[in-house]
Amino acid sequence: MLPEGWKKISLADAVRQKISYGIVQAGPHVNGGVPYIKSSDVRDDISLASLQRTSTDIHRKYIRSSVHPGDIVFSLRGNIGATCIVPPEISEANLTQGTARISCSQKVYPSFLIQELRTSSCIQQALNLSKGSTFKEISLESLRTLKIILPPLPEQKKIAAILSTWDRAIEGTEKLLANSQQQKKALMQQLLTGKKRLPGFTGVWKTKKLKDISKIYDGTHQTPDYVEIGVPFYSVEHLTSGNFNNTKFVSEEIYQRESKKRKIETDDILLTRIGDIGTARLIDWNVRASFYVSLALIKSSKVMSPKFFECALNSELFRRELWHRTIHVAFPKKINLGDIGDCSIHFPPLPEQEAIAAILTTADEEIASLESDLSRLRQEKKALAVLLSFKRKAPFFQFRPQERVQH
């Protein structure tokens, strides 16, 4: 049962102009022409500079589908259900057939409607209404029947204001995270090549083949019979996601047999060698696990700081050489153990390795903290959207996200 004053209506009843799509063939890009929006342009924000432009004559033929500031653009195909609001800097634009214009009536606040359209219930409706086997698309007729919940206009504005606060916090944290990741990348390029030396260190850097400073093993070649309770079994997905908690399990018998040939120990490194090649992860915890042939086990080396070793294997310099030696004609792509061993590692004396590793570890901790903040904000925003979908009016409208401040 909806709160007093709330209504459930079709999307067609929320607009002042009929929901429509636009240009069939936009033609070649015309400098100084009229911008148009494709489904791939529909993101949280639209950048005028990134839009392609069509001729004025083509735009006039499809003037019925022109959009203006405050209109909502809805993706009909590809990223079905993605939405954005036309910003003030785009005074007029057009659409392609892959997008639809939603022009809100006077009883609908655009910033509220876009939040409603982004709820899981509305997105699921859109997906359920989509048709096609290999190429799914929602028709305009179906889109017009999509059901939305509409509170009174003053409450729409309050709800939109609160949810927009979370959006701004999420956007700010995403930018901080991107900056931190870029800064770490720059540090790795400088510190892992010797281009930038830390104060107080003057020792000579060495270059060795990986096989000359470490032993390398591959995992089991047969997909094992998994058991409900047993020994964890690692594969490419665990390295690329960084999550080693959600695993399948093999029997104790398989583990004992495999560990005689290839036993993972603390400070060893696992490296992806089939499919998504070149992700290295340091095993810095007590581990008892088996692993698949898609991974290479690199045993810890006495001449290398474990954390520095992991960073060096993830460096652009090492991954470039790894990629050069990869067998690209195979499917999935793979690299042989011998070719991994022939790749070069550049490293300074151990004390400088440890100092470099400490700096990069601090950068990792900052990135992890920002990722945690971002996850929390997204979960909070999702919880608010769920509350909205249950039509509960609002003690939660008093809350604000704890935004991260950088000094």
pLDDT value at position 400? Answer: 54
Which tens digits make up the pLDDT trace of 177-232?
A: 999 999 999 999 999 988 889 999 988 999 999 999 999 999 998 888 999 999 99
Cα angle 43-46-51, degrees, rounded to a multiple of 5:
110
Q: Is the pLDDT of residue 78 over 90?
A: no
What confidence category does residue 280 fall into, taking pLDDT thresholds of 50, 70 and 90?
Answer: very high
Contact 148, 126 (CB under 8 A): no
Asked whether the domain spanning 206-347 has the same topology as the one spanning 153-194+350-407, the reply is no
The radius of gyration of the chain's CA atoms, rounded to the nearest angstrom, is 27
Lowest mean pLDDT of 92-101, 162-171, 207-216, 304-313, name the range. 162-171
Hey, which CATH number is domain 153-194+350-407, 1.10.287.1120, 3.40.50.620, 3.40.50.740, 3.40.50.880? 1.10.287.1120
Farthest CA pair distance, the chain: 76
Mean predicted confidence (pLDDT) in 262-287: 94
Domain extents in the chain: 7-150, 153-194+350-407, 206-347
Contact 142, 127 (CB under 8 A): no
Q: Which of 101, 90, 318, 94 has its CA nearest to residue 189?
A: 318
Cα angle 362-374-80, degrees, rounded to a multiple of 5:
135
Q: 7-150: what fold?
A: Adenine-n6-DNA-methyltransferase TaqI; Chain A, domain 2 (3.90.220)
d(Cα 170, Cα 401) in Å, to the nearest integer?
9
Mean predicted confidence (pLDDT) in 38-55: 90
Sign, CA torsion 323/327/332/337:
negative
What confidence category does residue 254 fall into, taking pLDDT thresholds of 50, 70 and 90?
Answer: very high
Which distant-in-sequence residues (6+ apart) come within 8 Å of 372 by Cβ?
Answer: none
d(Cα 265, Cα 275) in Å, to the nearest integer?
24
What confidence category does residue 119 fall into, taking pLDDT thresholds of 50, 70 and 90?
Answer: confident
Please give the model's pTM, rounded to 2 decimal places.
0.75
What confidence category does residue 283 fall into, taking pLDDT thresholds of 50, 70 and 90?
Answer: very high
Cα angle 4-8-10, degrees, rounded to a multiple of 5:
155
pLDDT value at position 402? Answer: 57
Cα angle 78-81-82, degrees, rounded to a multiple of 5:
80
Over the chain, what is the mean pLDDT?
90
d(Cα 220, Cα 198) in Å, to the nearest integer?
41
d(Cα 217, Cα 126) in Å, to the nearest integer?
49
* DSSP three-state, residue 36: strand
What confidence category does residue 390 fall into, taking pLDDT thresholds of 50, 70 and 90?
Answer: low
pLDDT value at position 141? Answer: 95
Q: Does domain 206-347 have CATH number 3.90.220.20?
A: yes
Which distant-in-sequence residues (6+ apart) come within 8 Å of 386 by Cβ?
Answer: 119, 120
* DSSP three-state, residue 272: strand
Q: Which helix (H) or strand (E) holds 271?
A: strand 269-272
Whether residue 154 is preceded by a cis peptide bond, meaning omega within 30 degrees of 0, is no
pLDDT value at position 329? Answer: 87
Cα angle 74-77-82, degrees, rounded to a multiple of 5:
35
d(Cα 119, Cα 83) in Å, to the nearest integer?
11
φ, ψ at 328 (rounded to 5°):
-80, -20
CA 358 to chain centre: 27
Strands, E assignment, 6-96: 7-10, 34-37, 52-54, 72-75, 83-85, 94-95
Q: Which residues pair with 96 in a beta bridge?
A: 23
Contact 266, 286 (CB under 8 A): yes
Q: Is the pLDDT of residue 143 over 90?
A: yes
Amino acid residing at 36 = Y
Strands 344-347 and 206-209, bridge-based pairing: antiparallel
pLDDT value at position 405? Answer: 45
CA 325 to chain centre: 28
Q: Is the pLDDT of residue 71 over 60?
A: yes
Q: Is the pLDDT of residue 391 over 80?
A: no
Q: Which residues pair with 52 in a beta bridge?
A: 36
